[in-house]
Amino acid sequence: MHISDGVAPIPVAVAGALAALPGIAAGLKVLKEERIPAAALVSSVLFLSTLLVRLPLGPSSVHPLLGGLAGLLLGWSAMPAFLISLFLQALLFQFGGITTLGINTFVMGMPAVGVYLLFNGRIRRERDTRKAFCLGAAAGIAAYLASFVLWAGALLLCGRQLAAIVAIAFLPNLVLAAAEGIFTGFIVSFLARVYPAIFGAPAFEAEGEGL
């Protein structure tokens, strides 16, 4: 769900970058120097996981986006984390692009931040693994669908002629959102059981709340 170089006209690319900028600045502001290694390692894992894990789906397989998980684990720092991972993806694998880096960061990062604000508090207190699964799944699906909506909106801003792509992508993405939800749910319930303190880590912002 990335927008490639060349598709976005300059005004849209600039608008996307301007929209992403405050979030990135906020993410960097709350990230304390001491927490940078933790944030970097979490974002490395997310980057690898989206790249390497192939969830079997019917005759084919899909790769997770993990926007919801990124939000739950990184909070506002998900914005700079996505900026970096999208830059690396553009540089190493030609997914997305440099002129569209701002738009793509906004599309992926804002839903992550939204999920953090909505779900992190509840997951932090949740000890029941089944409920943790449901919360995680809801977070994963919400972030995925929100990213899809932003992506579709950005494409339509790039040109009305791209509406056909959005229309074709709509149904498959609902299925992908479900796969993403199940996957995120399992990760969250695993973490709630094994290492619940991890959800205190978006206290990449809070005082002294250790891992």
Exposure on the CB side of residue 196, measured as CA atoms within 13 A: 13
Q: What is the DSSP annotation of 37-80?
A: HHHHHHHHHHHHHHHH--EEETTEEE----HHHHHHHHGGGHHH
Q: Per rule CB under 8 A, is residue 172 in the interface with other proteins? A: no
CB of 23 to other proteins, least distance (A): 13
Report the distance separating Cα 119 and Cα 202, nearest Å: 12
Q: Per rule CB under 8 A, is residue 171 in the interface with other proteins? A: no
Question: Within 86-115, which residues bind other proteins (CB under 8 A)?
Answer: 87-88, 90-95, 97-99
Report the distance separating Cα 183 and Cα 55, nearest Å: 9
Report the distance separating Cα 79 and Cα 7, nearest Å: 23
Q: Per rule CB under 8 A, is residue 187 in the interface with other proteins? A: yes
Choose, by CB under 8 A, the member of 33, 127, 207, 208 that binds other proteins: 33
Q: Per rule CB under 8 A, is residue 116 in the interface with other proteins? A: no
24 or 138: CB nearest other proteins: 24
33 or 207: CB nearest other proteins: 33
Choose, by CB under 8 A, the member of 18, 61, 172, 175 that binds other proteins: 61
CB of 163 to other proteins, least distance (A): 7
